[in-house]
Chains A and B, each alone.
Chain A
Amino acid sequence: MPATPPPDGKPAVRLDRVAKTYPNGVAALAGLDLAVAAGEFLTLVGPSGCGKSTLLRLIAGLDRPSGGTVARAATDLGFVFQDPTLMPWADVAANIALPLVLARHPRAEIAARVDAMIARVGLAGFAGAYPRELSGGLRMRVSIARALITRPRLLLMDEPLSALDEISRFRLEDDLLALWREFGTTVVFVTHSVFEAVYLSTRVVVLTPRPGQIAADVPIDLPHPRGSALRTDPAYAALCRRVGEALAAAGGTA
């Protein structure tokens, strides 16, 4: 486990009575409270359209809440979209370097950090490849590497693995956990897979259908490091069942 925050430490993210109503009148969120502790791997699960992505965008500051407040301890953050969202005209190294380039870091420093990150996320040999030459799993690795290149204290991920095949997904889940432990980043992760949520998280928050409310808040006290053996562990199965039942009770059908 990464260093647990001191009990009096400020939460990495705090949402107070956050509401979001879109101009077309759809209320995505109506008065939601949530605190994310530093170092936590928190996953939001909920039925489609429950405002999970809206919540992530509010935390990122990409949208403004129509009510309530969003507070973040850190200003720096990484964001991973559902699609890899790479620049097709740039190779892998240039895509990963983007946040550092935009922040005008020295060129030599960028090159060194990108090289290290490429090796770290399993993209060795692909530095000069273009996105269209990569598989879906590799593209997502580039996207995650780009989000982590600034070593942000907060990482927001919006269903990043949902489009991948199961083999790539399992492998990326393990790599993602290793990166989280190594970087000590706070992660807020969105998925609609109960199994993925329990496998990855230290805490799973189940949301109700729109407007999203917290239906259940389930701490996941499974030990780290986690590996494929966990997927058949009774404790894992029991937690999956608990989260699944909470999701069903909240009105979300799997």
Chain B
Amino acid sequence: MPTPQARRERALRLILPALVFVLLILAWDLVVRVNALPPYILPGPSLVLHTLVADRAVLFASLMVTLKTTIAGFALAALGGILVAVLLHQSRLLAYALYPYAVVLQVTPVIAIAPLLLIYLPQEAAVLACAWIVAFFPVLANTSLGLRSVDRNLVDLFRLCRASRWQRLTRLELPAALPHILAGLRIAGGLSLIGAVVAEIAAGAGGAASGLAWRILESGYRLNIPRLFAALILLAAAGVVIFALLSLLSLLLLRRWHESALAPPDASRA
């Protein structure tokens, strides 16, 4: 059983953000009512909620389009990032030769690359590429760091046991890198959503796709501000869910052995 103090601490962690949420919604509602703001300037929270329910068919279809891009981009970035990091780890020269370009890919703003990609690639592929580009580097960088953070004595032990390179990779380096890889994936999940949204916006009204970002643009043009808000809420919720799922994955994989997955002392569990 948690101590009363720990339980109070846990309750506060839930109650305080909820309280802030309620206050913000009330303030929002108050501002709209007192100033009698028209919905095309600022819709009230109840209208946004109503729109979310009323337009659910359109909005959820768009959410699925954006999520599909996000998940595909994330999966490719995760796979590619880990594979390239392993590859670069095998050869110092290869790492010297290629790593700077991975950095260039990372620091060039994706919003600036998106228009080019939209010219060269079919739109769906371009959107996917944007989601991939932003998510790739965190996975690569974190995996590279993880592969290099192996206990030197364990490396010596594997040498003494005449382990093959493959054995060292699969039984020592990758497991040791796992916490870093998972941290990279958690960052990449949110970023691939951003990448997908940026590309959809860059594709603009001329695009054939109908993702959530495109809905936001469209709603803006049509001054359908309640729907714009509803789409925005869905996007934020999608981001939170992606982050929560990846955090859960990390917790499940690491809880038996890694410090990061242990309960903090102030949130001790029963």
Contacts and interface: CB of A to CB of B under 8 A. Distances in A.
Interface of A: 60-62, 77, 79, 81, 83, 85, 87-90, 98-99, 101-103, 130-132
B222 to A, nearest CB: 54
A83 B152 CA distance: 11
B156 A132 contact: no
Given A77-B160, A85-B154, A87-B172, A102 B257 contact: no
Contacts of B154: 85, 87
A56 B160 CA distance: 13
B256 to A, nearest CB: 5
B156 A79 contact: yes
Contacts of A99: 161
A128 to B, nearest CB: 10
B158 interface: yes
B163 A88 contact: no
Contacts of B158: 102
9 contacts: A60-B160, A62-B160, A85-B151, A85-B157, A89-B258, A98-B157, A98-B171, A130-B256, A130-B257
Interface in B235-255: none
Contacts of B163: 102
B156 A101 contact: no
A132 B258 CA distance: 8
Size bin of chain B's contact surface:
20 to 34
Interface string B143-164: 0000000010110111111110
Contacts of B161: 98-99, 102-103
B257 to A, nearest CB: 5
Nearest to B262: A132
B175 A79 contact: no
B178 interface: yes
Nearest to B174: A89
B171 A102 contact: yes
B257 A88 contact: yes
B108 interface: no
A79 B156 CA distance: 10
Q: Which 6 A-B pairs have the closest CB atoms?
A: A85-B153, A102-B161, A89-B175, A88-B257, A81-B153, A102-B163
B177 to A, nearest CB: 10
B227 to A, nearest CB: 48
Give the secondary structure class of B's interface.
Answer: helix
B167 interface: yes
Contacts of A103: 161-162
Nearest to B151: A85
Contacts of A132: 257, 259
Given A85-B154, A87-B154, A88-B258, A101 B171 contact: yes
Contacts of A85: 151, 153-154, 157
A168 to B, nearest CB: 21
Contacts of B159: 62
B163, B178, B257: most-surrounded residue (chain A CB, <10 A): B257
A89 B160 contact: no
Contacts of B259: 132
A81 B171 CA distance: 19
Contacts of B175: 87, 89-90
Given A87-B175, A130-B257, 17 more contacts: A60-B160, A62-B159, A77-B160, A79-B156, A81-B153, A81-B156, A83-B153, A85-B151, A85-B153, A89-B176, A89-B256, A90-B175, A98-B161, A101-B171, A102-B161, A102-B171, A132-B257
B156, B158, B259: most-surrounded residue (chain A CB, <10 A): B156
A59 to B, nearest CB: 11
Nearest to B153: A85
A81 B156 CA distance: 10
Contacts of A83: 153
A101 B167 CA distance: 10
B156 A89 contact: no
Contacts of B153: 81, 83, 85
A99 B158 CA distance: 8
A62 B160 CA distance: 7
Contacts of B176: 87, 89
Nearest to B179: A89
A72 to B, nearest CB: 12
A186 B107 CA distance: 57
B217 to A, nearest CB: 46
B255 to A, nearest CB: 10
A215 to B, nearest CB: 28
